[in-house]
Amino acid sequence: MNSLSLITSCLTLGSTDPHPNVTPSVLYGLGWLYLILFAMNAVWTWKSYHRDCHFRLPEFLGGMGMPNAAVWAMYSIALLLVSVTHLTCASVPEALRWFVMPDFAKSAIDFVVADARRYFAVTTFGFIGMLLLRNWLAKPSVGWVLLNLSLLFLCVSLTDWDFRQIVGKPDNVPIVAMLFIVGFFTWLFFYRANENDRRSALGKGPIEAENNEKVLTWPDLVYTEMICMIAVTALLILWGIALQAPLEEPASAVKTPNPSKAPWYFLGLQEMLVYYDPWLAGVVFPSVILGGMMAIPYIDFNKLGNGYYTFNERKFAITTFMFGFLPLWVGMIILGTFLRGPNWNVFGIYEFWDVHKLEALNNVNLSEYFWYGIGQPLPMAPAGADFWTQAPYILLRELVGFVAIGVYLGVLPMVMAMTVFKKFFLRMGFLRFMVFSNLVLMMAALPLKMVLRWAVNLKYFIAIPEWFFNV
Amino acid sequence: MSVGDYIRDSQIWKSVFRHPAPYDRRNRVVVMLTNFFLHLHPVSIKQQGIALSYTWCMGGITFFLFLVETITGVLLMFYYRPTLEWAFNDILALRDVTTLGIMREIHRWGAHAMVITVWLHMYRVFLTGSYKPPREFNWVVGVILLKLTLLLSFTGYLLPWDQLAIWAITVGSNMARATPVLGHEGPGFQFLNLGGYDLITNASDARFLLLGSRFVGEETLNRFYILHCVAIPLAAAGLIAIHFWRVRKDGGISQPL
Amino acid sequence: MAATSLIWLLDLARFMFPNVLVEPPTKFKIGPASDYPLGGVSTKWLAARGVWIVHTDQYKGRNLIYALASVCTHLGCTPNWLEGEQKYKCPCHGSGFYINGVNFEGPAPRPLERLGIKLASDGQLEVDKSVKFQEEMGQWEDSNSFVDGALA
């Protein structure tokens, strides 16, 4: 290890590139990552051998029956070879050029993610695809393949300097971990929900109702808790030793770092601030999110799915909640953490954070669209007018915006009550339905404004900077 | 008689643990009833209700992390002074000088982990429909606890008094300027007006209440310190007690009806 | 009972508002106008006082010197003056302002704020941070919000 770090420092000193993509220490570290991946897959191979069925080789290969585990075994051996190559040849980066993310793939991925529009489209369609393909995705082997693909993607991407900068920041490491954890639990949910949905189709009760005898808390629960506590403590200590908590320069009230980010769990809100003014994105929407979450039990009239996993019995509730949690909350955190760079521009994950990257951001208000559209100037009060003289002019100027918001929050719920949500309306009653529909519409207001911003550069529906009232 | 037996037979031991060790069924029941820490639990519990693939153990881990944060937090307070002069230097000393300064790392990473586990706990409770009657109110308490967890983390973010801290809090607290009616740059602040004088200015609005000052300065550091170390933890501890109590009173861990 | 609780609550809220603040003085001198040539944005007072001294003829064609508060009107970050692109650019959410302080890109809803400025009796310019002038309210016409650029 010592000689290796010596080689590393020599190479770093000797190289002219200040941002080297591959260094011996990176390759050496990757070797260990591949070794872990090998170990995981070796265990999986063993389980597959005992559990999975066989497949038949094509005729030209002999047409024999083979256990599925054979494929996993070959894959594991390949990983072992890759790992050993990394660990032994780390000082000769040229030998490992096949395990580096190719440039064309980098530019292709950057092309997709380095643009809020495409990023949002990918997460939204990914979400819809996940719901449609849930039966296939929730198979253990598919889940395992997905886990392997994402880990391989991480390993290969780590050979990029810019990627390492953004992912390796100590405060960002938990977010990377969170992605895998949230992904795992979402997979686990679908796995269990599908099983219950299949049972329900056969007229059987949920799996949670079977073998559900009472057991003594000591030892069954108390020991589980103790093991969890020990595991969490060990994890925290290891994490604390491996990664030092960040401490930047002493606070300075005049030097704003570029970019300047809120704590990571609020980056969803900070992302909202790009589209809505602080009074909405910073005050009203967070309150609505909290109030709306508290209102969930009083809105959801569906008695099914209480105390067990299911998707089919609660399609609407779970789809709505997951859409809020996955693409809108976690997705926006990823966007804010990994993709927002200097000047709050969007950068690809392999892109250098260039402070001088330019992005045109010229936006137009709805009132301007309207008045210029009908060939009129904006209504304006005579200069020096007092508040009460100005007010009618301002309201007239923004009339179309007020009408739009009024229709959206006032009329649309009634239309919904008469059409798509007719059943909901009948079961909920007026007050409950109005609360429900307004919450849904407010949740939809964020993606709606994002799309309008991107499609027609819309800045505000209602723009009254004079009263700090911009919507 | 072995030493262990001697100790277990002594008056001191028996005064603390009022029954024999939980080796047999009877004592496994009694231990749950007579031990203060264990009496949070029922004596017996549904087998599927404690399956890890069902509960994900996220609520329990969140509570454990709350305890870890309390203990490491109290330890950190011994070496930290919330003043402009010392805050940053004290953190620096914790990193470079203090033996086992790793407490700060555990505190910070534990806070990150707690935010994640509390989200996942909420995710699980939603996905199993466990907020449905009769557990509606406990879901509401849980949402407030989620908010308190975020606030705890947010107030703690300022304490190291480095660039990361001051700007995250500046950006975050500036939103309070825009509070409708109560913020000096929010819509409708003009309505609170007395004889031509605005009642809501940058020295009397919601943000000023939060910061105790017109910008993020020493008063803010002090306020956030108190919120972080005393006010919010107390509120959270009270609500956690209610949350646990209601889990029991609302029918135990959720199961198919 | 309810009234008493309310009074206690309001008293508690009032208690949380301090009566005395320890903050630096709001008026300060920035030297003679000749220090600020036409077309320049001076960042000399940015670190200590949070103001840019701007001398420009790009606002309604008048040759003016004025002090802009270095506080983004979106969320109060400090924008950076980019000499090459001739704009103030906020690192928090990408708001951009022309040299004269008027917003043109990003989420900022209104122009930067001017601060009070006047020619003191000793020939130096004096900035007063306790007053502010907002463009969208028509306050930039106020003669306390600028000094004549011909002085430079």
| A378 backbone φψ class: left, alpha, beta (φ>0; ψ -120 to 50) | beta
So what's the pLDDT on residue A13? 47
Give the pair of three-digit tokens for residue C139: 């306050």
**Tell me, what's the pLDDT at B158?**
93
Q: What is the pLDDT of residues A423-439, one digit of tens each?
A: 899 999 999 999 999 99
Q: Each residue of A292-316: pLDDT tens digit? A: 999 999 999 999 999 999 999 999 9
* CB nearest to B212's CB, from C18, C75, C76: C18
Q: Does the pLDDT value for residue B138 go beyond 60?
A: yes
pLDDT in tens, A52-91: 777 777 777 777 778 888 899 999 999 999 999 999 988 8
* Mean pLDDT, chain A, whole residue set: 88
pLDDT band, very low/low/confident/very high, at A3 (cuts 50, 70, 90) = very low
Task: Domain count for chain C, please give it.
Answer: 1
| Chain position carrying tokens 């989420």 | C107
Of A297-301, A385-389, B219-223, minimum mean pLDDT range: A385-389
Least CB–CB distance from A465: residue in C46, C91, C109: C109
Q: Which of A209, A310, A312, A194 is nearest to B257 (CA)?
A: A209
Task: Find the mean pLDDT for residues B54-71.
Answer: 96
What is the spatial distance between Cα B108 and Cα B157, in angstroms, rounded to a whole number? 9
- In this structure, how many other beta carbons lie within 10 angstroms of the beta carbon of residue B85? 10
> What b-and-e string marks burial along A400-434, b requiring 16 or more CB atoms within 10 Å of the CB?
bbeebbeebeeebbeebbeeebeebbeebeeebbb
Angstrom distance (rounded) from CA A452 to CA A111: 21
Flag whether residue B174 sits within 8 Å of chain C, measured between CB atoms.
Answer: yes
CA A104 to chain centre: 24
Q: What phi and psi, each to the nearest 5 degrees, are found at residue A61?
A: -100, 10
Mean pLDDT of A314-338: 94
Of residues A230 and A458, more confidently modeled:
A230
Q: Subunits with at least 3 CB pairs below 8 A relative to chain A?
A: B, C
**% chain A with pLDDT above 90:** 54
Over residues A260-275, mean pLDDT? 86
Are C76 and B174 an interchain contact pair (Cβ–Cβ within 8 Å)? yes
Among A93-97, A397-401, B97-101, B252-256, the least confident range: A93-97
Whole-number pLDDT of residue A16: 62
Q: Classify residue C6: in a domain, yes or no.
A: no
Q: What does the alpha-carbon distance between residue B76 and residue B66 come to, in Å, rounded to a whole number?
A: 15
Distances (CA, A) of A399 to A363, A365, A449, B190: 19, 12, 19, 21
Q: How far is C55 from chain B (nearest CA, A)?
A: 28
Residue C51 placed within a domain: yes
In a domain, C9, yes or no: no
At A291, which amino acid appears? G
Residue A189 near residue A308, CB atoms below 8 Å: no
Report whether the peptide linkage leading into residue A219 is cis, meaning its omega lies within 30 degrees of zero. Answer: yes
CA-based nearest distance B212→chain C, Å: 6
**Residue C40 within a domain:** yes
pTM over 0.95: no
Query: What proportions of chain C, in percent to the nearest 5, are helix, strand and coil?
Result: 20, 35, 45
Mean pLDDT of all residues in B244-252? 92
Low-confidence ranges of chain C (pLDDT < 50): none
Residue pLDDT, tens place only, A408-417: 999 999 999 9
Domain boundaries, chain B: 1-44, 45-249
ipTM field: 0.92
Of C21, C22, C76, the CB nearest to B170: C76
**Are the beta carbons of A305 and A208 closer than 8 angstroms?**
no
Q: Is the pLDDT of residue B152 over 90?
A: yes
Q: Which domain does C92 fall in, by range? A: 25-151
Residue A8 has pLDDT above 60, yes or no: no
Task: Specify the DSSP class assigned to residue C112.
Answer: P
CATH of the domain at C138: 2.102.10.10
Most confident of A156-170, B65-79, B184-198, C105-119: B65-79
User: Which residue is it, tokens 């020619």?
Assistant: C119
Q: Evaluate whether residue C71 is within a structural domain.
A: yes
Per-residue b or e along B154-186, where b marks 16 or more CB atoms closer than 10 Å to that residue's CB: bbbbbbbbbbbbbbbbbbbbbbbbbbbebbbbb
Instruction: Note the pLDDT of residue C55.
Output: 92
pLDDT for A9: 45
pLDDT of B198 higher than 60? yes
Tokens 């007719």 belong to residue:
A422
**Class of domain B45-249 (CATH, top level):** mainly alpha
User: Does residue C1 form part of some domain?
Assistant: no
Query: Residue C21 and residue B171: Cβ atoms within 8 Å?
Result: no
The proportion of chain A whose per-residue pLDDT surpasses 70, expressed as a percent, equals 96
> Which residue of B26, B175, B184, B185 to mutate against A (max A Cβ within 10 Å)?
B175
Q: Which chains touch B (3 or more CB pairs under 8 A)?
A: A, C
Q: Residue with structure tokens 């086992």?
A: B100
Amino acid found at A294 = M
DSSP string, C80-102: EEETTTTEEE-TTT--EEETTS-
C13 touches chain B (CB under 8 A): yes
* C20 within domain boundaries: no
Closest CB from B105, B123, B162 relative to A325? B123
pLDDT for residue A5 is more than 70 = no
Q: What is the mean pLDDT of the segment spanning B235-243?
A: 97
Round to whole Å and give the CA distance between A46 and A35: 17
How confident is the model over A228-260, as pLDDT tens digits? 999 999 999 999 999 999 898 898 877 778 888
Decide if B105 and A270 are in contact by the 8 Å CB cutoff. Answer: no
Nearest to A196 by CA among A319, A300, A307: A307
Q: Is the pLDDT of residue A342 over 60?
A: yes
Nearest to B109 by CA among C76, A142, A173: A173
Shortest CA distance from B206: residue in chain C:
C17
Strand-strand pairing, C51-59 and C27-29: unpaired
Question: How many whole angstroms separate alpha carbon A269 and alpha carbon A261?
Answer: 11
Q: Is the pLDDT of residue B200 over 90?
A: no
- Contact B45/A219 with Cβ under 8 angstroms? no
Residues of chain C contacting B171 with CB distance shorter than 8 Å: 75-77, 92
pLDDT at A164 over 80: yes
Q: In the structure encoding, which two tokens stand for residue A459, read together?
A: 């800045």
- Taking contacts as CB-CB distances below 8 angstroms, the residues of chain B near A279 are 178-180, 183, 186-187
Nearest to C75 among B171, B208, B219 (CB): B171
Cβ-based interface (< 8 Å): residues of C facing A? 46-48, 50, 70, 74-75, 77-80, 84-85, 89-94, 96, 104-107, 109-110, 136-138
Task: Verify cis geometry, omega within 30 degrees of 0, for the bond prior to B133.
Answer: no
Give A359 to chain C, closest Cα distance, Å: 9
Residue C113: which of C41, C45, C50 has the closest Cα? Answer: C50
The answer to whether the CB of C132 falls within 8 A of the CB of C117 is no
B23: pLDDT strictly greater than 70: yes
- Identify the pLDDT of residue A11: 47
Most confident option among A97-106, A108-117, B73-82, C27-36: B73-82
For B:175-204, CB contacts with C below 8 A are: 175, 177, 203-204
- C15 within some domain: no
